[in-house]
């Protein structure tokens, strides 16, 4: 396995680092430009997006033919890590969730007509949302439990049900919906179908934007109700019964791109801590010279390095056409824990300053807690890993061969 970046990818990485440092980081201290949900305002975000476009740093996950940079997963790992040196970096460069995963999915599986109607506006900067998770007794981590239904009526599908914790929904103009099209509960693999719809279509509503620990991405996380939304069959994504396949195509790489971004935030936390302990003294000793502080910093540095190797391995396998389910689950668990460790360390070593809004560490700390929940709770990924080991035994650690 060779994770060496070619000259173009390395040039992009350096340019992203410079762009984020020069243009994006200053907004972190401009609290007056933040919205009530702890994110950068839309006017400020759009100004940064215009600068990113002009700098040639737009939509790295999309093919060059459709206006993106056409990077591989390994190359994206380096790009995203640098993008998330700032808390507002990914959104500025149009590689933040949920748009990131939605664009990648649509470019891969949508028809050309669907790409022109749904994908191209998102690439241009419109917000989107992926609508799957439901309140109990509906489907959460187990898509087999999804209850929102889509019933065929002529050339349309009528949707009824409820979804919640739908990222970006309050601002999204374009949606990908997963619903049950086969009411037979014994059919666990072909019971779901994915559909596309626009914000202005009647038959659905946002019940509420769900308050949470935050901060939120643009559009928050919302509860939605569907009461007769009609979707023409031409806006069905893939075939009837392919809904589970759609979720697998989207969520596997999306979990890994989360990890790429989280590593960037983890590195930023370590830099924040390093700057503080390098200057602060207590009882006549600089904090950076205390062994107890050095041990904390070493733990974070080690966890980040391990996380990068796990992410690059999974990215390499995805680039080779492998689903890399085991590798993605391992990386997702480890990097989620790493982000929490890094943020907690940055808060702790800064003392009261770290706990205050004088430092973005507290923002990252609150954000980090959701990392062990989104795109599959850590416990679910442990089940995946344990199941693979039960099937593979010692082949679980087999060597990669040519």
Global confidence as pTM: 0.96
361-389 residue pLDDT tens: 999 999 999 999 999 999 999 999 999 99
Specify whether domain 128-241 bears CATH 3.60.15.10: no
Tell me which architecture the domain covering 7-109 has in CATH: Orthogonal Bundle (1.10)
Q: Is residue 188's pLDDT more than 70?
A: no
Judged by average pLDDT, the poorest of 180-189, 191-200, 215-224, 378-387 is: 180-189
Which residues belong to CATH 1.20.140.10 in the chain?
245-397
What is the pairing mode between strands 128-131 and 174-180? parallel
Which pLDDT does position 297 carry in this prediction? 98
Which pLDDT does position 144 carry in this prediction? 85
pLDDT range class, residue 185, cuts 50, 70, 90: low
The CATH fold of domain 245-397 = Butyryl-CoA Dehydrogenase, subunit A; domain 3 (1.20.140)
Q: What is the mean pLDDT of residues 121-143?
A: 95
73-85 residue pLDDT tens: 999 999 999 999 9
Q: Is residue 329's pLDDT more than 70?
A: yes
Q: What is the mean pLDDT of residues 143-160?
A: 95
Output 314-320 pairs: Cβ under 8 A, ≥24 positions apart.
314/256, 315/72, 315/73, 315/74, 315/76, 315/77, 315/256, 315/260, 316/1, 316/3, 316/73, 316/74, 318/73, 318/252, 318/253, 318/256, 319/72, 319/73, 319/74
Which residues belong to CATH 2.40.110.10 in the chain?
128-241
Q: Is residue 67's pLDDT more than 80?
A: yes
Which residues belong to CATH 1.10.540.10 in the chain?
7-109
Which pLDDT does position 141 carry in this prediction? 87
């Amino acid at each position: 396995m060779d994770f060496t970046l070619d000259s173009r990818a390395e040039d992009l990485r350096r340019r992203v680092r410079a762009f984020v440092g020069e243009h994006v980081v200053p907004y972190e201290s401009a609290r007056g430009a933040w919205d009530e949900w702890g994110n950068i305002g839309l006017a400020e975000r759009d100004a940064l997006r215009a600068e990113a476009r002009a700098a040639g740093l737009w939509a790295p996950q999309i093919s060059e033919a459709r206006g993106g940079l056409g990077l591989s997963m390994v190359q994206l790992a380096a790009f995203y890590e640098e993008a998330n040196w700032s808390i507002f970096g990914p959104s500025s460069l149009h590689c933040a969730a949920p748009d990131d995963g939605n664009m990648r999915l649509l470019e891969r599986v949508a028809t050309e007509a669907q790409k022109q109607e749904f994908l191209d506006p998102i690439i241009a900067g419109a917000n989107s949302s992926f609508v799957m998770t439901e309140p109990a007794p509906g489907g959460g981590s187990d898509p087999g439990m999804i209850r929102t239904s889509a019933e065929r009526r002529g050339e349309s599908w009528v949707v009824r049900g409820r979804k919640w914790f739908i990222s970006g929904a309050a601002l999204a103009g374009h949606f990908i919906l997963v619903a049950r099209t086969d009411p037979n509960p014994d059919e666990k693999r072909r019971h779901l179908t994915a559909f596309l719809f626009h914000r202005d279509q009647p038959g659905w509503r946002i019940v509420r934007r769900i308050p949470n620990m935050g901060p939120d991405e643009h559009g928050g996380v919302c509860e939605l109700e569907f009461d007769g939304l009609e979707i023409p069959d031409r806006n069905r994504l893939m075939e009837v019964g392919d809904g589970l396949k759609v979720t697998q195509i989207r969520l596997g790489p999306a979990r890994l791109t989360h990890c790429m971004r989280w590593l960037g935030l983890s590195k930023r936390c370590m830099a924040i801590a390093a700057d503080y302990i390098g200057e602060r003294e207590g009882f006549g000793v600089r904090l950076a010279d205390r062994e107890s502080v050095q041990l904390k910093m070493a733990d974070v540095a080690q966890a980040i390095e391990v996380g990068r190797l796990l992410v690059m391995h999974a990215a390499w396998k995805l680039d080779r056409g492998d689903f890399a389910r085991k590798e993605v689950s391992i990386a997702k668990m480890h990097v989620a824990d790493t982000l929490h460790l890094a943020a907690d360390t940055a808060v702790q070593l800064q003392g009261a300053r770290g706990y205050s809004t004088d430092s973005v560490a507290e923002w990252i700390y609150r954000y980090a807690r959701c990392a062990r929940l989104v795109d599959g709770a850590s416990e679910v990924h442990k089940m995946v890993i344990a199941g693979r080991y039960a099937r593979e035994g010692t082949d679980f650690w087999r060597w990669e061969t040519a």
